[in-house]
Amino acid sequence: MRHETGRARRVGVALAAVVTGAALLAGATGCTGDGRSGLDRVLGGPPPAADSIRVTPDDGARGVRTGQRLRVRVPDGRLESVRVTRVQDARESEVPGRVSRDGLTWAPEEDRLALAARYTVDAVAVDGDGRRSARHTWFTTRVPDERFVAYVTPDDRSTVGTGMIVSLRFNREIEDRAAVERAVRVTASPAVRVRPHWFGRGRLDFRPEDYWRPGTRVTVALRLRDVEGAPGVYGLQQRTFSFTVGRDQVSLVDAARHTMQVRRDGRLVATVPITAGAPDTTTYNGRMVVTEMFEVTRMNGATVGFRKADGKGEYDIPDVPHAMRLTESGTFLHGNYWAPYAFGKVNVSHGCVGLRDVKGGSARTPAGWFFDRSLIGDVVEVVHSEDRTVAPDNGLGGWNMGWEEWVAGSAVN
């Protein structure tokens, strides 16, 4: 199936210059799709008015000017707590500020917003009747027209699986790809050859010839400041970050046998019954990398082209448990509670890989067991499906490209 997301436990493909580490209600569409939403929660008692906590700039605003004021307000009662975080160049920091004496307004100590950053606001207030409410919002600030930035995967200081690919996505097309490539350095300890590959003019990925060794520390140095990526357009970032490679886990999905073999450090630890894509909606073959993980997600067929004659989705499941994104086009590996007859016997999905689960999800089911033992960056390989091999630029699918072809994708070479 293809879905929209709900409660996110971990988000793996973070755009490091833009994405916050805070938990939020994400949108993602699945067995093939995407989307995002915010979350306003009422904490006990009758629900207060939806606008009881007012945040400016608006939730989801993009390209906010740095001179616009950041404010959190309530019409009555008082602000109990306000936490504002900023992510810029893969680094998260808390924005200092204070609540006014009357308790109605929060303002930051900083006069101006930062360029090319993502802000998140989490506020809790108590109204005049003693009812508590909370609000979560986010917005991004402007990238100057004469500047470009790279949004980097994975997160700084994260621990990832051995299949992680370093991916830089630029906010605008890069014309001098060689100059930009020379300004990015990816190194590993213990040392291993890491090579770049361009997908078009907006994405630059790095990987070694084979999967990373467990325990490897990978460092990404961005020296993009004042590098001319296009005529008159210069880089903004000057920053180094790193991540660590965790244990090795590779899972082999056999669509014909309806099984998934899970291997840790080369040792078979479990064989799990699965259901894959039905004959008319088959699952991609090839090696895919887990890029996002959601404890619960919504999956709506309309978001990925599976529509009925009336335009509605062929399916719309609001509470798909234990969902892990494998491709940008919406292939997920997820828990399935609505087709208990299928596991190990028949393929019935719209392209995803399903594992047995229960409504609401359970750690004791195969889906819950696998989810709790997985990392962003783990590899899931599908074989014996009646479909083509997943494209190398669909998610982190670069492992499906031979090494010589990968190396040939460098603009410097």
DSSP line for 166-198: EEEEESS--S-HHHHHHTEEEEEES---EEEEE
Q: How many CB atoms lie within 10 A of CB 406?
A: 21
**Spatial CB neighbours of 22, under 8 Å, sequence gap ≥ 6:** 85, 120, 122, 136
Residue with tokens 């292939």: 331
Q: Token pair of 294, please?
A: 């959601």
Task: Using alpha carbons, select from 413, 389, 411, 402 the residue that is nearest to residue 203.
Answer: 411
Q: Token pair of 286, please?
A: 């090839």
Sign of the CA dihedral running 5, 10, 16, 21: positive
The span from the CA of 357 to the CA of 253, in Å, is 17
Specify the length of the chain in residues: 413
Phi, psi angles (nearest 5°) of residue 127: -85, -175
The span from the CA of 195 to the CA of 209, in Å, is 8
Q: Token pair of 154, please?
A: 């994975």
Evaluate whether 288 touches 390 at the Cβ level (below 8 Å). yes
Catalytic positions are 334, 352
Whole-angstrom Cα Rg for the chain: 22
What's 313's DSSP letter? B
Phi, psi angles (nearest 5°) of residue 222: -100, 115
Task: Using alpha carbons, select from 44, 104, 100 the residue that is nearest to residue 75.
Answer: 104
Residue with tokens 């939730």: 59
Task: Using alpha carbons, select from 378, 343, 363 the residue that is nearest to residue 260.
Answer: 343
Q: Token pair of 43, please?
A: 């904490």
Residue with tokens 């959190």: 72
Residue with tokens 């006990």: 44
What's 366's DSSP letter? H
